Chains A and B, each alone.
Chain A
């Protein structure tokens, strides 16, 4: 039982994620077709703010203030939220690993400089960075991609990714520092193997563990960041939904001390909570799986 649980946890968490993601993707032909009732921006103006109705499929989750199907919005929103999460995680992996390897392997002044930069970035106001980045990149991206919705999405995960790589860099650096002293690396260096090869062939394979773990853990962080940005009004551009923006929009009406519209919050938050917990579980499970010492921990 002891060693099995983390693997079980990964399987369990992973299964939930696949199910959810699968449902969201499979229903895209409906949630994205403007004629469909499930279309996330189809405004049924006479059916606004209705609680869940069991008789009509598209009203299973109730409707929004503008009469949009909450079910459709949740499904489409899931795809967008997870896209942002994955893209931001990918960016932070790329940056974090690069900086971490450079700092850990080269050491010396480069290490000090990079780590001081990380320290400084920790201290800077994140919101300001996001706003600035958005404003700077949104127009050029729009020209490049041809659509303002796509530009908004790209800016969003770029800006989230650009501030999420700091922990990854620190962790990778720590790993590289300890790997560096290992005999086979020393041997490769002595043999005159070029640096990039050492990075690719020797370091990276040994870093897969921490990278996977922290990448998995960055995804939920990024999704939550987007929800915070939506709460502040600088998140995803309407009418595109994400789980975070649905939660933020529904907050006032759902938690109103009078006649609450509970469905506006319950459905997006359940989806959000389940997905993020699953992601966190998978991440923790992966970390356990990659850590040999953990086998012998039962006392």
Chain B
């Protein structure tokens, strides 16, 4: 019997030992401000960054020549203390402030900016195309890619392209001159965005890979990462916590209110909410929408903030003449697309599925967001007209319409929206569609390779200009999953890019959007909303549509 008892005793002993081994900072001091971000951090290298949660942190860790005003997110001078543009609006001269320092005390110089910008052209990332506004950048990038390809094949005769051909020059340690191909009125906003941040080459040097070009991502982890923003990265334990501590060398450190900021991980929406309720975090940046809707419906709580976001939820329609399985694609007929668009009643979707007062949307660009931009009307909800169009296209009452499917990823509310849309198309048009819910990786691949007929989609704007939306559906855009091709749309976009007068420019883009909406390669459904939770004691969190935040003014009043 004693021998048998030994089993639970051994187990208990192991448990006790293991608890000590695994238990982490139960006694660690609570940070001045703690929050739960939108998801796992994927990449803290500005070169590879594209996810919102990483960009949020990047604004706290680095600072570009321009930075964003914490309250309005409009670009203001940051690392640069003065900037001017010449009369042609294409040559920018930027002077770095003398007290700009990296978090290890080094001075920020123009070389740090050139190093980062050049790296973007030589090792392209998601946002490299933003550098193509600079003269010679696009050519340099593709020439460099050709040079690399040749070198890999063993051809050593081909010379590397000359970086001097790019319109980014350091006049001296403190001054940069950037020459653009066309006037870009929103260039300060781009300079404030992570792709234009500087990088600290000396600390990255150790992580250079054998090819002399790429850097091992370990450099983004503490204690190696050196940044020039209000905070430095102090600690990053996998899937538990990320800690930022105020930089002692930041030029504006007097205005940084919270010394220590923690980002806590929580994968599940309800678990995240419970973490907030316990008081372990001060700000929940993205509350699960079901919970948010419940709180709103029965609300007496003042700590839930729901406001429109800088993104649109829509359905994307495959515009290619044949589907991926070889059948003829009925959606290549614009009348069919318009019919599908006009047969959807968005009200039940936002009422029963969204449940957060999301604004119904008939346009691709979120309305009233861009100053001076007039949104076109878009297609209305008109079932009679829809039926007529469908009959004209050769499918009266949906007869003869082939079996198509609605593609979506099974996370979140996409399945519910798809169920409603499918039901409406069946009831209003007599069209039978299947539902195809897949996991997000497969979804991404299928959407990107046009293995769909109808797919759910969304797009968030990256910077404050309509082109962040309109660029997506140009014929040559890699993000144009509908493969919609309109020479007129392309022409208007190109003309807008060259137009110096902001008024005319916005009018051109509005015309472009009008074409997009009437040809209906996409069906806008609603505008996203952001759901923040924070108590009244928390100050400095702005309610901005782009869901971004500058951490300097954020603090908790006790």
Q: Are A and B in direct contact (Cβ within 8 Å)?
A: yes
Q: Is B371 on the interface with A (CB-CB < 8 A)?
A: no
Are B410 and A259 in contact, CB atoms less than 8 angstroms apart? Answer: no
Contacts of B416 in A (CB 8 A): 65-66
The count of chain B contact residues (Cβ–Cβ below 8 Å) is 33
| Interface set, chain A 30-80, CB cutoff 8 A to B | 41, 43, 45, 48-49, 65-67
A172 vs B218: C-alpha distance in the bound complex, in angstroms? 52
How many whole Å from B326's CB to the nearest CB in chain A?
13
A41 vs B405: C-alpha distance in the bound complex, in angstroms? 17
A238 in contact with B351 given A256-B291, A256-B294 (CB within 8 Å)? no
Contacts of B435 in A (CB 8 A): 237-239
A252 vs B437: C-alpha distance in the bound complex, in angstroms? 19
Are B419 and A252 in contact, CB atoms less than 8 angstroms apart? Answer: no
Q: Is B288 on the interface with A (CB-CB < 8 A)?
A: yes
A233 in contact with B273 given A65-B416, A148-B434, A238-B415 (CB within 8 Å)? no
A257 in contact with B277 given A66-B419, A148-B436 (CB within 8 Å)? yes
Q: Is B348 on the interface with A (CB-CB < 8 A)?
A: yes
Question: Which residue from chain A places its CB closest to the CB of B289 in the assembled complex?
Answer: A252
Q: Is A255 on the interface with B (CB-CB < 8 A)?
A: yes
Are A256 and B290 in contact, CB atoms less than 8 angstroms apart? Answer: yes
Are A233 and B298 in contact, CB atoms less than 8 angstroms apart? Answer: no
Are B442 and A135 in contact, CB atoms less than 8 angstroms apart? Answer: yes
Q: Is B171 on the interface with A (CB-CB < 8 A)?
A: no
The count of chain A contact residues (Cβ–Cβ below 8 Å) is 26
Chain B contact residues, majority secondary structure: helix
Partner of B270, one of A45, A49, A66, A256: A256
Are A66 and B352 in contact, CB atoms less than 8 angstroms apart? Answer: yes
| Interface set, chain A 220-269, CB cutoff 8 A to B | 233-234, 237-239, 252-253, 255-261
Contacts of A141 in B (CB 8 A): none
A149 vs B290: C-alpha distance in the bound complex, in angstroms? 27
Q: Is B411 on the interface with A (CB-CB < 8 A)?
A: yes
Contacts of A49 in B (CB 8 A): 352
Contacts of A121 in B (CB 8 A): none
Contacts of A110 in B (CB 8 A): none
| Interface set, chain A 67-95, CB cutoff 8 A to B | 67
5 closest A-B pairs by beta carbon, nearest first, are A233-B410, A259-B298, A45-B348, A48-B352, A148-B434
8 A-B pairs in the complex with CB atoms less than 8 angstroms apart: A41-B423, A66-B420, A148-B436, A233-B411, A238-B415, A238-B419, A256-B290, A258-B295
* Known contacts A67-B352, A258-B295, A259-B295; 15 further A-B pairs (Cβ under 8 A): A43-B348, A43-B419, A135-B442, A233-B409, A233-B439, A237-B436, A238-B415, A238-B437, A239-B419, A239-B422, A252-B269, A255-B270, A256-B294, A257-B277, A258-B291
